[in-house]
């Protein structure tokens, strides 16, 4: 008998009693509420009041397996060994019911096949067991869902869920009617086609270093990690008055979810370092807008038409007018757009303009780019604008005259890093345990922890860890060298791709040629080059490598197609797959060419920052000392005293910070040189503005920790800036520095200490910092349930702020009902059910919600006052 027929032979009367034992029994009056109950709280083998042991669960799985075997007939069933294997696999799958973070209505909506996909399934089943396990698990899921649908709460819950879905549909329709004017049928058809095009074009990312036998594309939904942003403030005034700052979460460095970046601002200039996730965020916004799915957190994107405009591509033939946007990015739909369509979209204020990479525009053309933006924003008000740049490519207030808010991407927290590593290994179908081992290594090894600060570096670490079975490099130079080696030396060999005899180049030969291309691009201030320029450069350097029986153009095509380091963004153009590779390769070539005057003459320029750091790393000891002394020698004594925002400009102070950052991996360096750099850099501390604090942290890294003074002798504002600078390093070495400030009375400073929690180990930071903070007027921020558990273990707190999405049951479980008086829901209400769960907190009297949160006052307890964020501190 075919295994797929098993399910039809198992009587419901035989299976239902077994399935029923997996779940807790409803007591009198249970479920007389529309509040959703998570599946994980229904199982009878989890929690303190479990009624089934693990042994009981195993026996139930074995019994269900035997029923299935019996249904297949005495001669057609599997052997005894396969039965045991099936029972073990089914035990694992059923046990994972306790990990599901969904309610019963959501589970039923998935259907048996969808539920089965959410359960943990062993990967190493034998062929015989695998043939029977799918139908067996499908049968179990079918009866589990049937059990859910018969619970007394299911029908009321379903009706409530349907009501909420209807509300969402009405809200969506209202927003779209308001935002989308009447359009011609031609425009409407094209917009639908264009939305599908955007979702396809930007719905995937490239996984650098993914197993070379698989596709290197990664679904954006699986890859996207929601990072955080902070607002750039020009002076220390924004750090005064903690109440004022908490009422406006984006002031003075308080993080906000990056995917809500345009929720409260029509125009944003976003700064972030190389590989920090700026482009990925733009892709996420574009795809979210294109899909037009209702979400309370992204209503500002409903009805918007996204235009993704990478500046490095669109500036080649001149900055485009709206009707040339699609042509400039080489969109396949450019010729199909109706005449005047883009102008109509912008005139109606429906566009989402995503303009990526101010830093990738040559410096002599940035003013032209600013004028282009000024004219567009002036001619087409009401649209949403996001412009990105590396931190120092656009000076402070560069677009302030056009009404742009200046924000910065925060480094990845330890939890972001863990989430990324887990998702990468899942996408790569890596062996179990690899992700956990790498997470542990990153958290326990300071060198690796300093590297894992953005998605690009995390991806490289994942790829190298997998290829090297956990053996990882410790420095930036070693990491880049290993990544390039992996791409150049192993890629085609792993894929068994044949290489023509005349183009069999060693890794070193390929590196030499790529270094010269990168050097040319850096020297000429380019992030792309024409194919003709690339071919010419290769022709110059081919004689230095082993004899190549090919023309320079054939060699160019080979490097483009096979190296994995180059790509063709448009016909006739070439660039590196990531700017970081260009900087590393170009720096190595500059050192080999002895271009030290060139490096020092350009050290103050933003796009040379990584080049200088890598050059110091690659240089010989005598040349390393020459570079570092050259950086600090250009700093007049009067330039080093301050550290205010005006000092953090191209010139002396920037060179000092860059020299300090280079010390981290500058081995074999004369002590006198190290002392000279450290002495001059120390005059920049403490930083005297939030922008300066972030700048010295981002450039100086852990090196700055030993230079931070205080808290004695510092004003409240200076002490707060010192805390921000130390916390942004995110390393364990920052904890002793932060601990010096934990008894400080400033509310603003205590806020920064609370915010920094998510960047460190939960328990250690709780012991060293959180437990010592004065609680008066301070909201303790919880980014995840681990923070809530830690706060409750410390006796709870009266004021708590919740960041991110949550389920009411999680709050009921982890918040102390006898302590909580003020609750701030940073991201609004729960989507599931009403607000009756708030009745679980009898002392709660103030609920703080975002400005955009819906009003549910009819379902709130009578003693509870709802306060909008803007008015949060006008109440007690």
The predicted-structure confidence for 507-546, as pLDDT tens digits, reads as follows: 888 899 999 999 999 999 888 899 999 999 999 988 887 6
More confident residue, 101 or 838: 838
Least confident of 140-149, 225-234, 488-497: 488-497
The predicted-structure confidence for 626-664, as pLDDT tens digits, reads as follows: 999 998 886 655 443 344 434 434 457 778 888 887 887
| pLDDT score for 716 | 93
| pLDDT score for 623 | 93
pLDDT band at 245 (very low <50, low <70, confident <90, very high): very low
In the chain, pLDDT over 70 holds for what percent of residues? 74
Pairing of strands 822-825, 799-802: parallel
Highest mean pLDDT: which of 124-128, 314-318, 492-496, 757-761? Answer: 757-761
The predicted-structure confidence for 182-215, as pLDDT tens digits, reads as follows: 667 888 889 989 999 999 888 877 655 444 434 4
Contacts for 188 with CB less than 8 Å, ≥ 6 apart: none
| pLDDT score for 29 | 36
Is there a cis peptide before residue 297, judged by omega within 30 degrees of 0?
no
| pLDDT score for 616 | 93
φ and ψ at residue 293, rounded to 5 degrees: -90, 140
pLDDT over 60 at 251, yes or no: no
More confident residue, 113 or 105: 113
pTM above 0.85, yes or no: no
> Cα torsion for 740, 745, 750, 752, to the nearest 10°?
-80
pLDDT band at 164 (very low <50, low <70, confident <90, very high): low
| pLDDT score for 27 | 46
| pLDDT score for 397 | 82
User: For residues 610 and 585, is the Cβ–Cβ distance under 8 A?
Assistant: no
d(CA 267, CA 633): 40
User: For residues 534 and 574, is the Cβ–Cβ distance under 8 A?
Assistant: yes
Q: What is the pLDDT averaged over residues 491-498?
A: 47
| pLDDT score for 80 | 82
Q: Count CB atoms within 10 A of the CB of residue 476.
A: 20
pLDDT over 70 at 683, yes or no: yes
pLDDT band at 860 (very low <50, low <70, confident <90, very high): low
pLDDT over 50 at 813, yes or no: yes
More confident residue, 721 or 6: 721
| pLDDT score for 705 | 81
pLDDT over 50 at 876, yes or no: no
* CATH architecture label of 775-876: 3-Layer(aba) Sandwich (3.40)
| pLDDT score for 5 | 43
User: For residues 171 and 294, is the Cβ–Cβ distance under 8 A?
Assistant: yes
Q: Count CB atoms within 10 A of the CB of residue 614.
A: 24
Residue with tokens 């924000």: 407
| pLDDT score for 721 | 92
pLDDT over 50 at 30, yes or no: no
Whose CA is closest to 290, among 330, 333, 327, 256? 333
d(CA 655, CA 678): 12
pLDDT band at 703 (very low <50, low <70, confident <90, very high): low
pLDDT band at 372 (very low <50, low <70, confident <90, very high): very high
Q: What is the pLDDT averaged over residues 435-457?
A: 77
- What are the contacts of 559-567 at 24+ separation with CB within 8 A? 559/510, 559/513, 559/514, 562/491, 562/492, 562/497, 562/499, 563/487, 563/488, 563/491, 563/510, 563/514, 564/487, 564/488, 564/491, 565/484, 565/487, 565/488, 565/514, 566/514, 566/517
Highest mean pLDDT: which of 130-134, 755-759, 819-823? Answer: 819-823
pLDDT band at 774 (very low <50, low <70, confident <90, very high): very high
| pLDDT score for 121 | 75
pLDDT band at 443 (very low <50, low <70, confident <90, very high): confident
In the chain, count H helices and then E strands: 38, 17
Mean pLDDT (the chain, rounded): 77
| pLDDT score for 663 | 82
Q: What is the pLDDT averaged over residues 141-150?
A: 76
The predicted-structure confidence for 570-611, as pLDDT tens digits, reads as follows: 778 888 877 888 999 999 999 999 999 999 998 888 778 889
d(CA 351, CA 851): 23
| pLDDT score for 451 | 67
| pLDDT score for 179 | 61
| pLDDT score for 323 | 93
In the chain, pLDDT over 90 holds for what percent of residues? 24
pLDDT over 50 at 240, yes or no: no
pLDDT band at 169 (very low <50, low <70, confident <90, very high): low
Is there a shared CATH topology between the 191-231+250-410 domain and the 775-876 domain? yes
Give the domain ranges of the chain.
3-157, 191-231+250-410, 775-876
pLDDT band at 317 (very low <50, low <70, confident <90, very high): confident
The predicted-structure confidence for 448-460, as pLDDT tens digits, reads as follows: 776 677 777 787 7
| pLDDT score for 25 | 60
| pLDDT score for 239 | 30
pLDDT over 60 at 685, yes or no: yes
Q: Which CATH number fits domain 191-231+250-410: 3.40.50.300, 3.40.50.10950, 3.90.950.10, 3.30.70.20?
A: 3.40.50.300
d(CA 492, CA 506): 12
| pLDDT score for 242 | 32
pLDDT band at 855 (very low <50, low <70, confident <90, very high): low
| pLDDT score for 294 | 63
């Amino acid at each position: 008998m075919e295994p797929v027929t098993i399910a039809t032979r198992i009587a419901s009367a035989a299976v239902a009693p077994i399935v029923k034992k997996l779940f807790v029994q409803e007591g009198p009056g249970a479920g007389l509420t529309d509040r959703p109950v998570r599946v994980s709280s229904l199982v009878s083998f989890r929690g303190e009041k479990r009624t089934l042991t693990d042994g009981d669960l195993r026996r139930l799985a074995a019994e269900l397996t035997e029923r299935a075997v019996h249904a297949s007939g005495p001669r057609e069933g599997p052997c005894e060994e396969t039965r045991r294997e099936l029972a073990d696999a089914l035990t694992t799958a059923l046990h994972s019911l306790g990990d599901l973070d969904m309610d019963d209505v959501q589970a039923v909506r998935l259907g048996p096949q969808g539920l089965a996909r959410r359960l943990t399934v062993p990967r190493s089943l034998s062929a015989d067991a695998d043939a029977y396990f799918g139908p067996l698990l499908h049968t179990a899921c079918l009866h589990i869902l049937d059990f859910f649908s018969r619970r007394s709460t299911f029908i009321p819950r379903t009706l409530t869920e349907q009501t909420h879905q209807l509300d969402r549909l009405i809200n969506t329709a209202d927003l779209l009617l308001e935002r989308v004017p009447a359009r011609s049928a031609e425009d409407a058809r094209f917009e639908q086609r264009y939305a599908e095009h955007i979702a396809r074009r930007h719905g995937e990312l490239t996984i650098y270093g993914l197993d070379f036998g698989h596709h290197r594309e990664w679904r954006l939904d699986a890859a996207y990690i929601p990072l955080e942003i902070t607002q750039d403030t020009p002076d220390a005034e924004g750090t005064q008055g903690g109440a004022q700052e908490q009422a406006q979460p984006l002031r003075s460095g308080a993080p906000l979810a990056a995917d809500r970046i345009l929720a409260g601002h029509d125009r944003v200039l976003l700064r972030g370092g190389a590989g920090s996730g700026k482009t990925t965020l733009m892709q996420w916004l574009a795809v979210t807008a294109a899909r037009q799915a209702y979400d309370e957190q992204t209503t500002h994107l409903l009805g918007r038409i996204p235009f993704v405009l990478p500046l490095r591509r669109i500036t080649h033939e001149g900055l485009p007018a709206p009707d040339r946007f699609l042509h400039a990015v080489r969109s396949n739909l450019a010729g199909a757009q109706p005449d005047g369509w883009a102008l109509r979209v912008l005139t109606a204020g429906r566009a989402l303009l995503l303009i990526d990479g101010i830093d990738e525009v040559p410096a002599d053309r940035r003013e032209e780019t600013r004028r282009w933006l000024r004219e567009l924003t002036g001619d087409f008000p009401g649209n949403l604008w996001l412009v990105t740049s590396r931190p120092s490519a656009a000076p402070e207030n560069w677009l302030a005259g056009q009404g742009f808010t200046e924000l910065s991407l925060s480094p990845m927290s330890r939890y972001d890093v863990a989430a990324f590593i887990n998702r990468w290994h899942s996408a790569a179908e890596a062996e179990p345990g690899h992700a956990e081992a790498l997470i542990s290594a990153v958290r326990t090894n300071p060198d690796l922890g300093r590297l894992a600060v953005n998605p690009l570096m995390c991806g490289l670490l994942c790829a190298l860890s997998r290829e090297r079975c956990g053996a990882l490099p410790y420095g930036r130079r070693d990491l880049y060298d290993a990544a390039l080696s992996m791409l150049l030396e192993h890629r085609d060999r792993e894929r068994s791709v044949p290489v023509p005899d005349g183009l069999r180049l060693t890794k070193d030969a390929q590196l030499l040629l790529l270094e010269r291309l990168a050097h040319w691009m850096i020297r000429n201030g380019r992030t792309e080059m024409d194919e003709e320029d690339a071919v010419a450069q290769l022709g110059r350097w081919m004689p230095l490598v082993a004899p190549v029986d090919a023309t320079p153009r054939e060699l160019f095509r080979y490097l483009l197609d096979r190296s994995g380091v180059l790509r063709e963004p448009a016909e006739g153009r070439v660039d590196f797959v990531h700017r970081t590779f260009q900087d590393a390769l170009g720096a190595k070539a500059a050192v080999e060419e002895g271009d030290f005057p060139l490096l020092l003459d350009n050290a103050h320029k933003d796009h040379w920052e990584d080049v200088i750091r890598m050059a110091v790393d690659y240089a010989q000891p005598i040349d390393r000392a020459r570079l570092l002394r050259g950086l600090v020698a250009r700093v007049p004594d009067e330039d080093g005293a301050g550290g205010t925002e005006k000092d953090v400009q191209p010139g002396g102070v920037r060179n000092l910070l860059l020299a300090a950052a280079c010390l981290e991996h500058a081995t074999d360096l004369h002590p006198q040189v190290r002392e000279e750099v450290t002495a001059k850099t120390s005059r920049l501390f403490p930083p005297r503005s939030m922008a300066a604090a972030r700048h010295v942290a981002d450039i100086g890294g852990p090196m700055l920790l030993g230079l931070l003074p205080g808290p004695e002798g510092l004003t409240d504002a200076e002490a707060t800036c010192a805390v921000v600078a130390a916390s942004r390093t995110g390393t364990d070495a920052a904890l002793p520095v932060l601990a010096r400030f934990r008894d400080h009375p400033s509310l603003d400073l205590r806020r920064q200490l609370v915010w920094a929690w998510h960047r460190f180990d939960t328990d250690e930071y709780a012991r060293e910092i959180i437990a010592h903070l004065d609680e008066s007027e301070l909201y303790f921020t919880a980014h995840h349930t681990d923070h809530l558990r830690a706060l409750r273990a410390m006796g709870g707190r009266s004021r708590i702020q919740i960041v991110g999405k949550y389920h009411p049951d999680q709050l009921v479980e982890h918040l102390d009902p006898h302590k909580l008086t003020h609750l701030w829901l940073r991201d609004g209400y729960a989507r599931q059910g009403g607000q009756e769960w708030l009745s679980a907190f009898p002392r709660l009297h103030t609920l703080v919600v975002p400005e955009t949160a819906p009003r549910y006052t009819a379902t709130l307890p009578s003693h509870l006052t709802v306060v909008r964020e803007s008015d949060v501190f006008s109440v007690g």
